[in-house]
A = this chain, B = another copy of it.
Amino acid sequence: MPKLEDYRGQIPAWCPGCGNFGILKTFKEALVELEIEPYQIIIVSGIGQAGKLPHYLKCNTFNGLHGRTLPVATGIRLTNHEMLVIAVAGDGDCYGEGGNHLLHAMRRNINVKLFVHDNQIYGLTKGQASPTSMEGMVTKNQPFGVLSEQLNPVALGVALDCSFVARSFSGDGEHLKEMMKQAIKHKGFALLDIFQPCVVFNKVNTHEWYKQRVYHIEPEYNPEDRIEAFKRALEWGDRIPIGVIYRNNRPIMEERIPIIKDSPLLRQPLDASKTETALREFY
C-alpha cells in the first residue's frame, strides 16, 4: 500500500502559483489511490516545464527529448507491456514538435497514457505561442498576434479514433484525479489534455479564465458516440467542457502481436541455436 510520502521527489523548479503544482499533487494522489507503487510505473517525459514532472515524484523515469515522448513510450510498452507507461508532455512538446508521433500513437492504440500540461504557451523558453495558443494572442515572438488557428487536441483525438480522449483542469483537483484514474484504468491509448495556467507568460488563459469557462460534462453524456463527441470537442469560448469526451474499445497493439502474446518481449530468452538454423538456410 503506497503512501503519499513514498512519492515525494525533488523540489520543483516551477514558478510559485504555476498550474503544474496542482497537477503534480493530484497525480500523486491518483497513483496512491490506485495503489500503484513507484517502481511499477515508467514515466516518459519531454523537455519543457511539464517534462520536469517525473523528477518531482518517485517513479522510473525516461526524461527524453522535446517532442519525442511517445515513440520512447511505445518502445517501452512493446518491450514490457506489464508496466504502466505514462507520457508527460507540454502542449508545444506533443502538439508542436511531436505532432506526428501523436497521430501515429493514436492509430496504433498502444496502451500508453499521455498527460498534456496544456498551458497554451511555451513556458520554459519564455513565452512564445504554442499550437494551442489562442488566435490573436500577442507575444514577443508573435508581434501581430497568433495567426494560426488554435489546434484542438480533443477534436484531433476524435478524428483519429483515439481510444480515450479527455480534458481536465489543474484547478479542479477532484475532476483531474478522476480523469487520471480513468485514463490509467482505460485499456488503450489515452489522451488527457489538462488546462494548466502559466502565471508568468500566459496572461490570457489564466486560472480565472479557465475557472469561469470549464464545466463538467453531464453524466448522461455518452462518450462512445463519435459524432456527439466531435460536437463536444468543438465547444470553445464561454463554456468549455471537461471530462471524458470520447472513448472506444479498440484492441490495443500489444495484444495484436502474436510473438508477445504469452510473455513480454523483455522476458523472452535468446535461443542461440536459431542462429545456426538460420545460417543453414543460406546453403
Is there a chain B Cβ closer than 8 Å to A227's Cβ?
Answer: yes
Interface size class of A (residues with CB under 8 A): 35 or more
Bound-state Cα–Cα, A198 to B131, Å? 36
A253 touches B147 (CB 8 A): yes
Residues facing B in A117-161 (CB within 8 A) are 131, 144, 147-152, 155-156, 158-161
- Mostly helix, strand, loop or mixed at chain A's interface? helix
Is there a chain B Cβ closer than 8 Å to A256's Cβ?
Answer: yes
Bound-state Cα–Cα, A133 to B144, Å? 41
1/0 contact string of A148-191 vs chain B (CB within 8 Å): 11111001101111000000000000000000000000000000
Which of A96, A159, A231 neighbours the largest number of chain B CB atoms within 10 Å of its CB? A159
Stretch binding the partner chain, chosen from A21-29, A42-50, A98-106, A268-276: A98-106
Bound-state Cα–Cα, A29 to B233, Å? 41
Q: Distance in Å from the Cβ of A12 to the closest Cβ of chain B?
A: 30
A103 touches B151 (CB 8 A): yes
Is there a chain B Cβ closer than 8 Å to A107's Cβ?
Answer: yes
Bound-state Cα–Cα, A160 to B131, Å? 12
Is there a chain B Cβ closer than 8 Å to A216's Cβ?
Answer: no
A256 touches B100 (CB 8 A): no
Q: With A131-B104, A131-B107 known to touch, is A148 a contact of B253 (CB < 8 Å)?
A: yes
Task: For A231, give its contact among B147, B155, B160, B227 (CB under 8 Å).
Answer: B227
Q: With A159-B159, A159-B230, A231-B227 known to touch, is A148 a contact of B107 (CB < 8 Å)?
A: yes
A155 touches B159 (CB 8 A): yes
Given contacts A156-B159, A159-B230, 11 further A-B pairs with CB under 8 A are A98-B100, A99-B104, A103-B151, A107-B131, A107-B150, A108-B148, A147-B253, A151-B160, A152-B161, A158-B159, A159-B159
Q: Which 5 A-B pairs have the closest CB atoms?
A: A159-B159, A99-B100, A100-B100, A107-B148, A155-B159
